[in-house]
Amino acid sequence: MTKEEILQKLAELIEDCFDEEVTITRETVADDVDGWDSLGQIRLLAAAEKEFNIHFAISDVRHLDNVGDLVDVIDRMLNL
Amino acid sequence: MSFLQYPLDYSYLMAKRKKIRKQVMSNIQSPIKKRIAILGGSTTSEIAAMLDLFLLDNNIEVEIYESEYNQYWEDAVFGNMDLESFQPDFIYIHTTFRNIEVFPNIADSPEQVNQLLNSEFNRLSQMWTALSEKYSCPIIQNNFDRPSYRLMGNRDIWDDCGKSSFINKLNQKIYEYAAAHERFYVNDIDYLSAQIGLNKWHSSFYWNMYKYAMSMEAIPYVAKSVSDIVKSLLGKNKKAVALDLDNTLWGGVIGDDGIEGISIGQELPEGQAYYEFQKYCKELKNIGVILTINSKNDEDNALAGLNHPDGVLKPDDFVLIKANWNPKSQNLLETATELNLGIDSFVFVDDNPAEREIVNQHLPAVAVPAIGSVDNYIQVLDNTGFFETTILSSEDINKTQTYRENKKRNEFQNSFLNYEDYLDSLKMRAVIKPFDSLHLQRIAQLTNKSNQFNLTTKRCTEKDIEEMSQSNQFITLYLSLSDKFGDNGIVSLAAGEISGHELNIELWLMSCRVLKRNVEAALMNELVRIAKKKSIRTIVGHYYPTPKNGMVKDFYKEMGFMRIKADENGNTDWVLQVEDYSDKKTSIMINN
């Protein structure tokens, strides 16, 4: 899976989780999406775990500043 | 909503929650509105979100209060202004093994361990006492799950100092409390964690990051379990199962294979599976579920199959057997009418997806679980939570017998040309008494389950009934009916508030099992007699129409009341001058 495809999939998950139609790019941050608070983020991470068949470790998610960071983490985990 | 039934797809539920909720809300009709307070010992947000969804699926719309993080104990014991003004209808205490304050040390003596056990339990019961004193609503308490590790391996469960042993003992104390207290219910997360598997249940990631005490995957199961308890208490359990025969209660098709060809019994694996399922159905009957048959077969063949010596279920276990070549949806409608049960109280169990689809299409109110293969019938049915047993009364346990007696009554009636002679020959006896603590549960249960012969559809909690029964300002009456065929138990209720010389009837309902026997006449005669003794001069009654209670629109008129008011919604008020009342004819003898 390419990073572009990961971003695409994440965009779909974000749209579902927050029920918002927003254009998602690597630069998108939580503040850009209505309702994306810390509790919503947990849901997104859980959905991503299931979607990509991965398990996040604490170190993976500590310093996520934008969607691009999350794409990179997932990409790294998929290529292990 | 199929995604709200097992197996629960947590990521789908979580991701699509908002969409699902919108969809459910757009279809919902007159939901019951309740308030649930969640007192959590860990993060509860996702649990609240899921609980909301599962309850909506049961036509219950809730407002949810969540305590501040891990403030469950303080909220309960010290009180909380927000919680108090919230006035919960249910309180759910979401604790897990992580909330156990002190575990035994390895070197502790049995006495020390016991002391710790008692102090830990007292911390809990202190909470429950404080809550029941302030709120009197049902309390739903998690038991304790097992940790994700066993320090001493297998010894951990039997050594007094083991954590597993400690949790086990603590759980036993919770169960003893539950058995001894009404309005206290256990949410069995120990079972849920076993069902999903401890490896999936525990997630150190979600605990350490977000203080969720179980994984995201597990949360929908917890929420569904709590929702099952709540909807059961609100009278939303299903009441009857309509079972197919071929490949549902036995392997094979009896019309083709004959009695020797069907698989049922403990000799062979396939027969064993059907045997187990028949046994499970029989056990459902024992907790008050009505069993009926809905099969495409000649009746002779159906009965032959049910009389198979190696089967568990016999024709007598079923209140009604419909074995014919009519559409199964038609059979279901007729069954519902004949048994005087709402069509929405039925579960249709059939191995054939085509038959299931037909019923789904024609009767969307009927629950139609996708039962899969016979290896899974029991699990699928069990996981639906349709029969979550919160209250188990003797009426429940004897339900099938009661329905069968009713059938005999109907047949007996058909042998009479004159209906009045029939009623006389039933030799009916009624006990009519004020509400008392002995029958609290059953009375409250009746107010929540009766829909048709119900004048005001006033739903009461046990606390409401208790308050009415203890108040001098209320006249309360229950009517318990028996006849030559058996005892029906409590079948009718009336309650009214006194104001000066007027009695205002807030509650009048009757079980449909005793329609057309002049039970209402007997109850009204008694109510008026008591009213006279209390110097009441006028009695006021109300009729509030619902989609189900059309049959009692003119009830008060038939009782000799005069209509004094009607509004555009069909609500009517009626009045009776007590001195003008003459006893209504009834063949029921009062046997107080």
Q: How far apart are CA A55 and CA A48, in angstroms?
A: 9
CB A51 to CB B11 under 8 A? yes
Tell me how close the Cα of B11 comes to any Cα of chain A, in angstroms: 5
Q: What are phi and psi of B184, to 5 degrees?
A: -130, 125
Q: How far apart are CA B540 and CA B292, in angstroms?
A: 41
Contact B553, B545 (CB under 8 A): yes
State residue B1's pLDDT score.
Answer: 58
> Is the alpha carbon torsion for B222, B227, B229, B230 positive or negative?
positive
Q: What are phi and psi of B433, to 5 degrees?
A: -140, 165
CB B14 to CB A17 under 8 A? yes
Of B10, B16, B205, the CB nearest to A58: B205
Q: How far apart are CA B151 and CA B276, in angstroms?
A: 38
> Is the alpha carbon torsion for B231, B233, B235, B239 positive or negative?
positive
Q: Is B29 on the interface with A (CB under 8 A)?
A: no
Contact B187, B174 (CB under 8 A): no
Helices marked H in B296-428: 299-306, 328-339, 353-362, 377-383, 394-397, 399-414, 419-425
Neighboring chain A residues of B18 at a CB cutoff of 8 Å: 16-19
State residue B583's pLDDT score.
Answer: 93
Query: Other C-beta atoms within 10 Å of B169: how many?
Result: 16
Contact B455, B552 (CB under 8 A): yes
Instruction: Write out the two tokens for B309.
Output: 């010596």
CB B11 to CB A19 under 8 A? no
Q: How far apart are CA B415 and CA B553, in angstroms?
A: 31
Q: Is B533 on the interface with A (CB under 8 A)?
A: no
Query: Other C-beta atoms within 10 Å of B530: how many?
Result: 16
Instruction: Write out the two tokens for B288.
Output: 């008050």
Neighboring chain B residues of A19 at a CB cutoff of 8 Å: 18-19, 22
Q: Is B216 on the interface with A (CB under 8 A)?
A: yes
Q: How far apart are CA A54 and CA A31, in angstroms?
A: 26
ipTM score: 0.84
Q: Is B69 on the interface with A (CB under 8 A)?
A: no
Contact B588, B519 (CB under 8 A): yes
CB A19 to CB B19 under 8 A? yes
Q: Is B361 on the interface with A (CB under 8 A)?
A: no
State residue B433's pLDDT score.
Answer: 96
Burial of A38 (0-12, 13-18, 19+ CB in 10 A): exposed
**Alpha-carbon distances, residue B585 vs B104, B424, B519, B589 (angstroms):** 71, 11, 10, 11
Q: Is B209 on the interface with A (CB under 8 A)?
A: yes
Residue B251 DSSP label: B
* CA closest to B12 among chain A residues: A47
Contacts of B259 (CB under 8 A, 6+ apart): B304, B305, B308
Tell me how close the Cα of A10 comes to any Cα of chain B, in angstroms: 11
* CA closest to A60 among chain B residues: B205
State residue B273's pLDDT score.
Answer: 96
Substitution target in B45, B52, B202, B211 with the highest count of A β-carbons within 10 Å is B45
Q: Is A51 on the interface with B (CB under 8 A)?
A: yes
Neighboring chain A residues of B13 at a CB cutoff of 8 Å: none
Neighboring chain B residues of A39 at a CB cutoff of 8 Å: 45-46
Q: Is A52 on the interface with B (CB under 8 A)?
A: no
Note the pLDDT tens digit of each residue in A16-49: 888 888 889 999 998 888 888 888 888 899 989 9
Neighboring chain B residues of A53 at a CB cutoff of 8 Å: none
Q: Is B385 left (phi over 0), alpha (psi -120 to 50) or beta?
A: left
Contacts of B171 (CB under 8 A, 6+ apart): B143, B144, B190
Q: End-to-end distance of chain B based on CA atoms, in angstroms?
A: 49
Of B15, B22, B205, the CB nearest to A16: B15
Tell me how close the Cα of A2 comes to any Cα of chain B, in angstroms: 22
Neighboring chain B residues of A55 at a CB cutoff of 8 Å: 205
Q: Is A39 on the interface with B (CB under 8 A)?
A: yes
State residue B113's pLDDT score.
Answer: 97
Note the pLDDT tens digit of each residue in A51-75: 999 999 989 988 888 999 999 999 9
Q: How far apart are CA B116 and CA B270, in angstroms?
A: 50
State residue B251's pLDDT score.
Answer: 96
Contact B246, B252 (CB under 8 A): yes
Q: What is the pTM of this model?
A: 0.82
CB B11 to CB A58 under 8 A? no
CB A43 to CB B46 under 8 A? yes
CB B15 to CB A58 under 8 A? no
Q: How far apart are CA B274 and CA B48, in angstroms?
A: 39
Total beta-carbon pairs less than 8 A apart between chain A and chain B: 47
CA A78 to chain centre: 14
In 3D, which of A6, A64, A42, A77 has the Cα closest to residue B217?
A: A42
Substitution target in B3, B14, B22 with the highest count of A β-carbons within 10 Å is B14
In the sheet that holds B32-40, the strands lie side by side as B60-66, B32-40, B90-94, B139-142, B184-187
- In what helix (H) or strand (E) does residue B254 lie, and over which residues does it extend? helix B254-261
Q: Is A46 on the interface with B (CB under 8 A)?
A: yes
**B545-584: b (≥16 Cβ within 10 Å) or e:** eeeebeebeebbeebebeeeeeeeeeebbbebebeebeeb
Q: End-to-end distance of chain A based on CA atoms, in angstroms?
A: 13
Of B10, B46, B205, the CB nearest to A56: B205
Tens of each residue's pLDDT in chain B, 592 residues: 566 777 788 878 888 888 889 888 988 888 999 999 999 999 999 999 999 999 999 999 999 999 999 999 999 999 899 999 999 999 999 999 999 999 999 999 999 999 999 999 999 999 999 999 999 899 999 999 999 999 999 999 999 999 999 999 999 999 999 999 999 999 999 999 999 999 999 999 999 999 999 999 999 999 999 999 999 999 999 999 999 999 999 999 999 998 989 999 988 888 999 999 999 999 999 999 999 999 999 999 999 999 999 999 999 999 999 999 999 999 999 999 999 899 999 999 999 999 999 999 999 999 999 999 999 999 999 999 999 999 888 888 888 888 888 888 888 888 777 888 888 888 999 999 999 989 998 999 999 989 999 999 999 999 999 999 999 999 999 999 998 888 889 999 999 999 999 999 999 999 988 888 999 999 999 999 999 999 999 999 999 999 889 999 999 999 999 999 999 999 999 999 999 999 999 999 998 8
Q: Is B10 on the interface with A (CB under 8 A)?
A: yes
